[in-house]
Structure 1
């Protein structure tokens, strides 16, 4: 059995640990180890996560199975298009993949986005990430490609949108 709850500032280290445990198996086949290390340090420091939560920059959700956090999502209104929300992060521990937890987190995000009065949800996915298949099945469509600089590296992404 599982449940989803909104994360608070005390969950920042848990989210960092989940990111560490999910990023290596997810991105090792498609990114160099140095890029993964850099991005984890840049995006998922406990301090940065705590700041995002504390100042409502992104809403984080934790999926809990048997009292153990096994996945998370983060979302907010898009800064460049305040009529659309963006799913910034969605990760489940590798051992938990295939249980429908990614779908459950997306469904919860969609419910909250609709409740906030918005009708579209965007996300970025690496062009070589197998998670794109999940997003396709859930009704997201590629609207464009973008290459985003992160330090000395680039994220080579599809931007996908789902009308809610």
Structure 2
């Protein structure tokens, strides 16, 4: 059985976060957004500068790994959040089905 673990991304992970965003946004949004809009959003939200600024403001990017390989990018809580979100939408890389998981569950994802 393959194991999945999640860790918080750091500034050194910005290239990986950008890669995962590019690999997940296109399949997730291409049917509802024009390519130009996807490119704009990726540049606005996931450029190196944008990610650095978001991290400095306390935004958290969670990275999911499956069998020690980057597998998904998850929106994490902001440092300003008082309570955990409780529900996270997972955006998986292509070839993986989209799945939602209750973030408060203690059951590991497999």
Number of residue pairs matched by the alignment: 101
- Where structure 2 has 5 or more consecutive residues not aligned to the other structure, the ranges are 106-110
Provide the C-alpha distance between the structure 1 equivalents of 2:49 and 2:32, rounded to a whole number of angstroms.
Answer: 27
Partner secondary structure for residue 31 of structure 1: coil
Please list, as runs of the form range in 1=range in 2, the aligned pairs for 1:1-164 lying within 5 A after superposition: 1-53=3-55, 55-74=56-75, 75-76=77-78, 90-98=90-98, 100=99, 102-103=100-101, 106-107=102-103, 110=104
RMSD: 2.7
- Where structure 1 has 5 or more consecutive residues not aligned to the other structure, the ranges are 112-164
Runs of 4+ in 1 over 4 A off after TM superposition: 82-90
Q: What TM-score comes out, normalization by structure 2 length?
A: 0.74
What's the CA shift for 1:13? 1.1
Q: What TM-score comes out, normalization by structure 1 length?
A: 0.52
Decide which structure has the larger Cα Rg and report it.
1
What's the CA shift for 1:17? 0.6
Which protein has greater RCO, CA pairs closer than 8 Å, 6+ apart?
2
What's the CA shift for 1:50? 2.5
